Amino acid sequence: MQYIFSHLANLSAKAKTVLASTFAIIPALFPFSALAQTEPVAGQAVNGQTGFQLSVTPIMDSIIAFHDGVLMWTITLIVIFVTILLAYIIVRYNKRANPIASKTTHNVLVEIVWTVVPIVILIVIAVPSFGVLADQQTIPDGERKYLGSNVFSFGEVEMPAPGLTIKATGVQWSWDYDYVDYDGADFSSFMLSNEERLAQKPNEPRLLAVDFDLVVPVDTTVRVQVTAADVIHSFAVPSFGIKIDAVPGRLNETWFNARKTGIYYGQCSELCGKDHAFMPIAVRVVSKEVFAAWVAKVQSDGIEEAAAMLPPIS
């Protein structure tokens, strides 16, 4: 009798585990309901978030529009169609309902349809995808227009030519920043340990706070030249919609134009060694007046004095 009760208890525990696992994956199967519970924010991810961070650049606008307006609808329709088709086949062609198996070897119409329809779907996905990719790779010149939140347009967002150029060099395991247009404005940015963060920047997130932020002006096109000193790194800031490899001996370029002040975090997105997870990117977007004063302070007194003049993040 004791063995029976013990066996039933084990079965009950296993059943609870299965039910818990089932309910745990429901948010993943229905991402829109999960997003309704946890709103995304600009600059960093939040617990329970499944969608993108809020956009503050035209590039991220187009990425979100492409994902939510083209990819998600396409994927959803394909999943619904395949599910219905599988259910129909299971019911219509099982052994009980169809005891005599068909000897049909092919059907010309079906073969044409299942060849042509995927091609059409890929074209529908590819056209806006190439546009978004071209926007990411083309540095503004003041004349070319960008897609923004309408990925099926020929470009509606006007972007000025770069007003600032920054060279970002990935190093195991930190980032070196050089303001190309300003002599003497260069520094290294290291992640703060948890003790340092609590002492210096308690309101900033763990593993993302750095000693010296990359400071840029708002509403300004910033060209970022990216390279590496040792191994391949990757410069990525999700709210800006930028991600580009930092390759030793090669100078890659990307750009952004942030329309809102604040601090935006990113990380190295290329496995680069044992401390890969500990080389964050913190970009602080300030007003043009504050940036002018900050960069002048860097040139005259150094990065520590310049960092001290910036107000703390609340």
pLDDT in tens, 140-187: 999 999 999 999 898 999 999 999 999 999 999 999 999 999 999 999
Q: Which domain holds residue 70?
A: 59-146
Where a domain ends, among 146, 170, 185?
146
d(CA 212, CA 147): 33
* Judgement on whether residues 139 and 169 belong to the same structural domain of the protein: no
In a domain, 99, yes or no: yes
pLDDT in tens, 69-124: 999 999 999 999 999 999 998 998 888 888 888 787 888 999 999 999 999 999 99
* Judgement on whether residues 224 and 300 belong to the same structural domain of the protein: yes
Query: How is residue 196 written in tokens?
Result: 């340092």
**10 Å Cβ neighbour count for 47?**
5
* Judgement on whether residues 7 and 109 belong to the same structural domain of the protein: no
pLDDT in tens, 203-238: 999 999 999 999 999 999 999 999 999 999 999 999
Domain count of the fold of the chain = 3
* Judgement on whether residues 197 and 229 belong to the same structural domain of the protein: yes
**What does the pLDDT read at residue 22?**
40
* Judgement on whether residues 173 and 269 belong to the same structural domain of the protein: yes
* Judgement on whether residues 298 and 191 belong to the same structural domain of the protein: yes
Residues 6+ apart with CB under 8 A from 255: 139, 140, 162, 221, 222, 223, 224, 242
* Judgement on whether residues 76 and 33 belong to the same structural domain of the protein: no
Q: What is the mean pLDDT of the chain?
A: 87
* Judgement on whether residues 137 and 174 belong to the same structural domain of the protein: no
* Judgement on whether residues 298 and 169 belong to the same structural domain of the protein: yes
Residue 17 pLDDT > 90, yes or no? no
In a domain, 157, yes or no: no
262: domain CATH number is: 2.60.40.420
In a domain, 67, yes or no: yes
* Judgement on whether residues 98 and 65 belong to the same structural domain of the protein: yes
